[in-house]
């Protein structure tokens, strides 16, 4: 009996991971007009996966998202797709999503009843991780200095990401009780 | 209804290759392209043109696949052109803004590399169906079991996610329509309004989807699903040509790594 419930919850975790992979993909298609660059909801679902699914399932959900792009669905930011994007200058962000979601999940899991402040902290750290991995690949692949890479790869998105962060905290708090794995 | 993929169905030797060969090809070419000089890049461009000719894929659809990456690459190009120190071009200097010869050269070479990467991947996705690529990835990722990741599960999750996407789009549209019918203002201009409209979409979407996930889990459980090795209706099989191509690609990579440490 005990074993059935455990395998059941493991399967549930996997299906939720697939779902959050799909949600992240859909999120990149939802564009909200903004200055200076329009924002997409994809990182919103990356953050939510971290908070709601916990470390490993969240990372799995982002692996699924990246694979969806690799097999040719236009689900990377701005309708891009394919392995070329993963190797290219912006591919670091995709790897960053996997690492970031894992870290957000791990930080959230560290507390039994994470407070609003704790979740916010987890999301801030997670976003910093995504930026770090993204900027590292950008400056390595495109042979840019770190300052230039920050100028191209972080500054235009800061404001939109801040808005998504606030939204993610609010949504995570509303959904946390519904998502009992 | 939702034709999200890029697959172009044709009968061609490129389409018929095993997905694993094409995946390895994209990875190897990806590594090589990033280190190449201008002659190499021209050679790769020629190679891609030949492949697209054999695959009977119009060059226009390859160019179309580049469209989404253009805005960011153009921005990156400007950074190269304006911020690379070097000899300024005489006919391009507006006060303090100068275009250097080195910057222009670097910009053109770098952006062509990135564009070729995208073309390589598009050639893969245009000649291979998503489910074939998933199968190929599943086979190639099998060694991951040594670090505790089951490639069977990953492949299953990708197919599940593929199945979820049209469902999510439907769900999203009906939530939007329901909100519009109740007089919601979707084009909020203020920041708090934008946050609110994001929340108003994401919360019901996640909750509705959650219910569907639970149904799916029950359905899988009651059909006796258990994670682990599975068999397929169509098994992948490498032909002699496929082995030859893999050997060529591996040789190419080794030669390249020796001469470009």
Domains and CATH numbers, chain A: 3-176 (1.10.1760.20)
**Mean pLDDT on A1-29:** 78
The SS3 call for residue B166 is: helix
- Which is nearest to B25 in space by CA: B140, B154, B159, B151? B140
Q: Closest to A18 (Cβ–Cβ): which among B71, B161, B221?
A: B161
- Is any Cβ of chain A less than 8 angstroms from the Cβ of B190? no
Return the minimum-mean-pLDDT range out of A24-33, A65-74, B83-92: B83-92
Element (H, E) at B119: helix B101-127
Q: Which residues on adjacent β-strands are paired with residue A40?
A: A31
What residues does B94 pair with on adjacent strands?
Answer: B97
Q: Taking the alpha carbons of B119, B123, B126, B131 in that order, is the dihedral positive or negative?
A: negative
Give pLDDT, residue A59. Answer: 92
CB contact under 8 A, A67 and B197: no
Task: Mark yes or no for CB contact A175/B5 under 8 Å.
Answer: no
Structure confidence at residue B170 (pLDDT) = 86
Of B72, B120, B137, the CB nearest to A67: B137
| Tokens 């924002």 -> residue | A39
Does position B14 have pLDDT exceeding 60, yes or no? yes
pLDDT at res. B99: 75
Q: Which residue has the higher pLDDT, B147 or B139?
A: B139
- Average pLDDT of chain B is 83
Q: Which two tokens stand for residue A144?
A: 């840019």
Q: Is the pLDDT of residue B136 over 70?
A: yes
pLDDT digits (tens, 9 = 90+) for B214-256: 888 888 888 888 777 777 777 788 888 889 999 999 998 888 8
Domain positions in chain B are 1-150+234-261, 152-227
Q: Which of A22, A79, A171 sits opposite B165 (nearest CB)?
A: A22
Task: Of A2-16, A136-150, B241-255, give the lowest mean pLDDT range.
Answer: A2-16
pLDDT for residue A7: 57
> Rounded to whole angstroms, how far apart are CA atoms B92 and A74?
38
Q: Do B213 and A19 touch (CB under 8 A)?
A: yes
| Per-residue pLDDT, B36 | 83
User: Which of B83, B124, B198 comes nearest A83 by C-beta?
Assistant: B124
Using a CB–CB cutoff of 8 Å, tell me whether B255 touches chain A: no
Q: Count residue pairs from A and B with Cβ separation < 8 A.
A: 205
B38-47, B85-94, B158-167, B236-245: least confidently modelled range: B85-94
Q: Is B224 on the interface with A (CB under 8 A)?
A: no
The whole-angstrom distance between residue B49's C-alpha and the CA centroid of its chain comes to 19
Cβ-defined contact of B161 to A87 (cutoff 8 Å): no
Banded pLDDT at A181 (limits 50, 70, 90): low
Q: Among all residues of chain B, which has the CA nearest to that of A82?
A: B121
Contact B11, B127 (CB under 8 A): no
pLDDT on residue B164: 86
pLDDT for A61 equals 93
- pLDDT for position B235: 77
Q: Is A73–B117 a contact, with Cβ atoms under 8 angstroms apart?
A: no
Shortest CA distance from B136: residue in chain A: A71
Do residues A126 and A50 lie in contact, with contact meaning Cβ atoms separated by under 8 Å?
A: yes
* Cα B99 from Cα B209, distance rounded (Å): 52
The full 3-state SS of chain A, as one line of letters, equals CHHHHHHHHHHHHHHHHHHHHHHHHHHCCCEECCCCCCEECHHHHHHHHHHHHCHHHHHHHHHHHHHHHHCCCCCECCCECCHHHHHCCCHHHHHHHHHHHHHHHHHHHCCCCCCHHHHHHHHHHHHHHHHHHHHHHHHHHCCCCHHHHHHHHCHHHHHHHHHHHHHHHHHHHHHCCCCCC
Task: With CB atoms and an 8 Å threshold, state whether B114 touches A89.
Answer: yes
Q: Which of A84, A141, A170 sits opposite B120 (nearest CB)?
A: A84
| Three-state DSSP class for residue B180 | helix
Half-sphere exposure of B36 (CA within 13 A, CB side): 24
* DSSP, res B232: -
Looking at the complex, report in whole angstroms how far the Cα of residue A73 sits from the nearest Cα belonging to chain B: 5
A19–B161 CB contact, under 8 Å: yes
Residue whose C-alpha is closest to residue B203's, from B228, B234, B226, B179 = B179
Distance from CA of B20 to the nearest CA of A (A): 12
Contact A107, A121 (CB under 8 A): yes
- What percent of chain B has pLDDT above 70? 92
Answer whether residue B106 shows pLDDT above 80.
yes
Q: What CA–CA distances, in Å, run from B234 to A5, B127, B131, B237?
A: 33, 18, 11, 9
Instruction: Examine the pLDDT at A166 and tell me if it is beyond 50.
Output: yes
From A34-38, A144-148, B176-180, the region with the lowest mean pLDDT: A34-38
């Amino acid at each position: 009996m005990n074993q059935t419930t455990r395998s059941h919850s493991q399967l549930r975790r996997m299906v939720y991971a697939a779902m959050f992979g799909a949600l992240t993909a859909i999120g990149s298609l939802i564009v909200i007009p903004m200055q200076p660059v329009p924002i997409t909801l994809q990182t919103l679902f990356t953050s939510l996966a971290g908070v709601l699914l916990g470390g490993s399932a969240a990372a799995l959900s982002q692996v699924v998202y990246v694979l969806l792009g690799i097999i040719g669905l236009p689900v990377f930011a701005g309708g891009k797709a394919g392995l070329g994007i993963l190797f290219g200058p912006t591919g670091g962000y995709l790897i960053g999503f996997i690492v970031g979601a894992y870290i957000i999940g791990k930080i959230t899991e560290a507390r039994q009843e994470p407070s609003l402040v704790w979740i916010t902290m987890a999301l801030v750290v997670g976003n910093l991780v995504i930026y770090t991995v993204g900027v590292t690949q950008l400056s390595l692949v495109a042979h840019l200095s770190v300052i230039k890479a920050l100028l191209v790869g972080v500054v235009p998105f800061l404001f939109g990401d801040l808005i998504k962060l606030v939204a993610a905290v609010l949504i995570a708090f509303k959904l946390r009780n519904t998502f009992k794995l | 209804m939702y034709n999200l993929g890029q697959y172009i169905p044709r009968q061609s030797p490129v389409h018929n290759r095993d997905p694993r060969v094409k995946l390895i090809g994209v990875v190897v070419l990806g590594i090589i392209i990033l280190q190449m000089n201008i002659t190499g890049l021209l050679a790769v461009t020629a190679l891609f043109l030949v492949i697209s000719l054999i695959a009977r894929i119009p060059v226009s659809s390859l160019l179309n696949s580049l469209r989404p990456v253009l805005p960011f690459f153009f921005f990156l190009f400007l950074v190269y052109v304006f911020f690379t120190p070097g000899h300024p071009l005489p006919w391009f200097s507006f006060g303090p803004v100068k275009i250097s010869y080195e910057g222009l050269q670097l910009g053109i070479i770098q952006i062509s590399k990135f564009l070729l990467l995208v073309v390589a991947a598009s050639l893969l996705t245009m000649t291979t169906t998503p489910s074939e690529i998933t199968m190929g990835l599943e086979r190639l990722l099998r060694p991951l079991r040594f670090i505790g990741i089951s490639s069977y599960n990953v492949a299953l999750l990708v197919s599940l996610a593929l199945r979820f996407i049209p469902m999510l789009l439907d769900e999203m549209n009906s939530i939007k329509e329901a909100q519009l019918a109740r007089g919601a203002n979707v084009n909020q201009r203020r920041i708090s309004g934008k946050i609110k409209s994001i929340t108003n979409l994401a919360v019901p979407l996640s909750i509705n989807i959650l219910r569907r996930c639970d149904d799916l889990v029950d359905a899988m459980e009651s059909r006796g699903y258990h994670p682990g090795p599975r068999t397929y209706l169509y098994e992948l099989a490498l032909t002699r040509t496929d082995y030859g191509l893999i050997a060529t690609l591996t040789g190419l990579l080794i030669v390249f790594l020796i001469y470009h440490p």
